Structure 1
Amino acid sequence: MSTTDSLMQLASRIDINPGEKGSPPIHNWHPQRVLDIDLKIDHQGQWLHKGAPFLRTSLVRLFSTLLRKEPDGCYYLITPAEKVRVQVAEVPFLIIAAAVEEQGTNQQIRLETNVSDQLLLDADHPLWVETLADGEPRPYVRVRDQLDARILPQVFYQLVDLAESVQVNQQTCLQLRSAGHTFLLGCFD
């Protein structure tokens, strides 16, 4: 059975069990066979096969649960028998929404990815901000394992509105609280 057939067989489970929860146990799968079938995730989170976008969101959702970043720094779709290399332009996911679940000192912020993963901004899912060469902030969050998401600008602005100003080393910084943890969004003079 080819890799494409194997992945399509796994994808068929979505149609049979659309309400199924959880992720496949890819941490237990260590296939030796590696295939390249021209799979890519672009900067906008669009999944492509041989340059053509995936049209079925259920297939993208399934494939996202099979994704793993290996110690070689490459991304792969993992099956029990083989792994398929996926070229990722930046990070595999995007944060498309944020919601405050509790406010005040117990504030909790829930984030949603472009593949419908939900996560609480906390110690297991930290937020960090990198600064681009042009000075623009580029915020990220850990989704699971070694898989990260870029936070879309409109969501980042929402998080900035929730942040509080604090003084750090004679600079004013924006700090966001969620689930008992603080995350630095940036500093300015």
Structure 2
Amino acid sequence: MGLKEAELASKSGLPPVDKWHPERKHSIDMRIARDGSWHYQGSEISRAKLVKLFASILIREEDGSYHLVTPVEQAQITVEDVPFVIVAMQKAGEGTQQTLAFTTSIGDVVVAGLDHALRFELDPQTDEPAPYVHIRGDGGRALEARINRAVYYDLVDLGTTYSVDGEDWFGVWSGNVFFKMQRAAELGVE
């Protein structure tokens, strides 16, 4: 199975949460920790199938809040950073034709490109790079995954410099898109 096929397979079966607008709305004591673990009333949810089910009905509102939604109710939950964590990366091709597929801790696969952008920022608490990839949803409702440290280092190993609007950037290619990580001059890279 190719990278695109793996991505499509992981998306199949997602419920039509964007079409559900229940009247009953409330909050529940559920939290997604920064490490991607799910907790209910203070206890970690250890059943992977249950976590995957909850993840399939997770939405993000324009105000940045996260909710589990069904046709009859919507429950707000707490998310410490973003709801998903990238735990693996697979590469196909080379150079500008390179394609990178990312796997979340719940088994979803996305291929970085126009539909699944990579973004890089500095963590305000640690001042270390905080890399993210778009999983699903649009605009202010987008769900993202944080790329774990091991995968981030693999990503950096694939990095190259490329000139964007006359300025050299260090970044990676995937899906015919160059994703800027940091200005090359800041890294001393040519």
**Secondary structure of 1:139's match?**
strand
Q: Which amino acid aligns with 2:134?
A: R
Q: Which amino acid aligns with 1:160?
A: V
- Which whole-Å CA distance do the structure 2 matches of 1:52 and 1:152 have between them? 23
> Alignment RMSD, CA only?
2.1
1:93 matched to 2:89? The reply is: no
1:139 matched to 2:131? The reply is: yes
- Count of aligned pairs between the two proteins: 171
- Give the aligned partner of residue 119 of structure 2: 128
Percent identity of equivalent pairs: 36
Q: Which amino acid aligns with 1:148?
A: E
Contact 2:118 2:179 in 1 (8 A): yes
Contact 2:11 2:108 in 1 (8 A): no
Q: Which amino acid aligns with 2:132?
A: Y
Question: 1:166 and 1:102, CA in 2 relative to 1: closer, same or farther beyond 3 A?
Answer: closer
1:152 matched to 2:152? The reply is: no
Q: Which structure has more RCO (C-alpha within 8 Å, separation ≥ 6)?
A: 2
**Secondary structure of 1:62's match?**
helix
Contact 1:160 1:174 in 2 (8 A): no
Which of residues 22, 28, 39 is equivalent to 1:37? Answer: 28
Compare 38-47 and 98-107 and name the one that shifted more. Answer: 98-107
- Give the aligned partner of residue 12 of structure 1: none
1:47 matched to 2:38? The reply is: yes
- Give the aligned partner of residue 75 of structure 2: 84
Q: Which amino acid aligns with 2:156?
A: V
Structure 2 gap ranges (5+): 1-9
* CA shift for structure 1 position 102: 2.4
- Which whole-Å CA distance do the structure 2 matches of 1:93 and 1:147 have between them? 8
Q: Which amino acid aligns with 1:82?
A: E
TM-score by length of 2: 0.83
Contact 2:155 2:172 in 1 (8 A): yes
Structure 1 gap ranges (5+): 1-18
